[in-house]
A and B are shown apart, each in its own frame.
Chain A
Amino acid sequence: MHEMSIAASMLEAVQAESVQRGAHVLAVGVKIGALSGVDSESLRFCFDALVRDTDLAPLSLEVESLPWRHRCRQCAREFPVEDYHTECPQCGSPETEMAGGNELEFAYMEIEET
């Protein structure tokens, strides 16, 4: 359960952006990969619990979930990994590498100039 620490890091970053831009932040968008180790629902729960007692409230969290993706080292095909099948669906090669799914990134903020 490290989503609380992650939610706290997010609020720190949003607070800093808010001050720096002199703007009120209404929403923050994040990308969460399937292999990021972060559970979106748990993150949302922690985020809402923490934001409530700050001057950032109300602040909404918008999560974009990204799939686990691999790229074939032989034929360069990119594909989503389903049921842990990491072999290339095009050429059958087992030599594939990660091409997405690790993300734990901010994407955007919705702001209102104050």
Chain B
Amino acid sequence: MTRVPLERKVLSENDRLAAELRQGFLQHGTLCVNLISSPGSGKTMLLERTLAAFEPDRRVAVLTGDIQTDNDAQRLARYGFPVRQITTGGACHLDARMVEKALEEWRPAPIDVLFVENVGNLVCPSSYDLGEEARVVLLSVTEGEDKPLKYPATFHRADLVVLNKIDLLPYVPFRMDLAREYIRRVQPDAEIVEVSCTTGAGLDAWRQWIEARYAARAADLSSVPSSGNGNS
């Protein structure tokens, strides 16, 4: 019997596909945002408010993942931007292969900002890179401020944490100072915005964050060698 080293990631196949997706997004100047939260935190509502505020000619699209139903795609399609549902049929997360397949079948026109709404789950999506440029985790104030400590694997990978439903703060025992402290402990580099998708409070800060990330992406694009060398 021999022991041979096998030094690679368990999800290396997912990571390989994610790297391809990331390269494609970079070449097309697409900002891809992976939205993660528990079910009912308001991912779809946040996207509805976000889409409603974009100019109609803005090149924005949404891939939305659910285990069953295309309810979210129907809700989001009302805003006039391309939307596609990924129904996982049981899987509790999206993986890079599902995103790649959806994009291949869909072939949307060039996109500036692609939102990927993950399956509602604070555990499983954390392990799967989708090729995104930014990972956004939503936490609503009705869930309790200790979620970052209970689900560190998810919060630890967040570039931005959106604290949603702040209009409900008077009615729930949610301590914003503790929530911010817990997020900081798990992910010191995460930015944080507080929003209410019902009243619209804080949504400007969220939109500014998207535009700043998009502008940074556009700057990356100008430093990418032109696609003249094709597929070589």
Within 8 A of A (CB), among B99-153: 123-124, 126-128, 149, 152-153
**Within 8 Å of chain A (Cβ to Cβ): is B154?**
yes
Q: Is A26 an interface residue (CB 8 A)?
A: yes
Asked whether A94 is an interface residue with its Cβ less than 8 Å from the other chain, the reply is yes
Q: Which residues of A contact B93 (CB under 8 A)?
A: 2, 5
A36 vs B149: C-alpha distance in the bound complex, in angstroms? 14
Number of A-B contacts (CB under 8 A): 93
For A33, give the chain B residue with the smallest CB separation.
B153
Stretch at the interface among B11-19, B159-167, B202-210: B11-19
A5 engages B95 (CB within 8 Å): yes
Q: Interface residues of A: mostly helix, strand, loop or mixed?
A: mixed
Q: List 6 A-B contacts (CB under 8 A).
A: A5-B93, A13-B8, A13-B13, A68-B152, A86-B186, A111-B3
Q: Complex: how many Å from CA A93 to CA B166?
A: 31
Q: Is the CB of B153 within 8 A of A13?
A: no
| Interface footprint category on A | 35 or more
Query: Once the chains bind, are A104 and B2 in contact (CB under 8 Å)?
Result: no
Q: How big is chain B's contact interface, by range?
A: 20 to 34
Are A96 and B188 in contact (CB-based, < 8 A)? yes
Select from chain A the residue with minimum beta-carbon distance to B123.
A37
Taken together as a complex, chains A and B put the C-alpha atoms of A108 and B53 apart, in Å, by: 51
- Name A1-49 residues within 8 Å CB distance of B: 1-2, 5-6, 9-10, 12-13, 17, 21, 26, 28-30, 35-38
Interface residues of B (CB under 8 A from A): 1-14, 91-93, 95, 123-124, 126-128, 149, 152-154, 156, 182, 185-186, 188-189
B6 and A17 contact, CB distance less than 8 A: yes
Q: B-side binding surface: helix, strand, loop or mixed?
A: mixed
CA distance A111 to B91 in the complex (A): 32
Question: Which residue of chain B has its CB nearest to the CB of A24?
Answer: B1
Known contacts A84-B149, A86-B185; is-contact A38 B127 (Cβ 8 Å)? yes
A70 to nearest B CB, angstroms? 9
Q: Smallest CB-CB separation from B154: which chain A residue?
A: A37
| Contact A84 B1, CB 8 Å, known A1-B124, A2-B127, A106-B9 | no
Nearest B-chain residue to A38, judged by Cβ: B127
Chain B residues with Cβ under 8 A from A2's Cβ? 91-93, 123-124, 127-128
Q: Which 9 pairs across A and B sit closest by C-beta, in order of nearness?
A: A37-B153, A2-B124, A37-B126, A106-B6, A84-B185, A37-B127, A35-B153, A104-B10, A109-B6
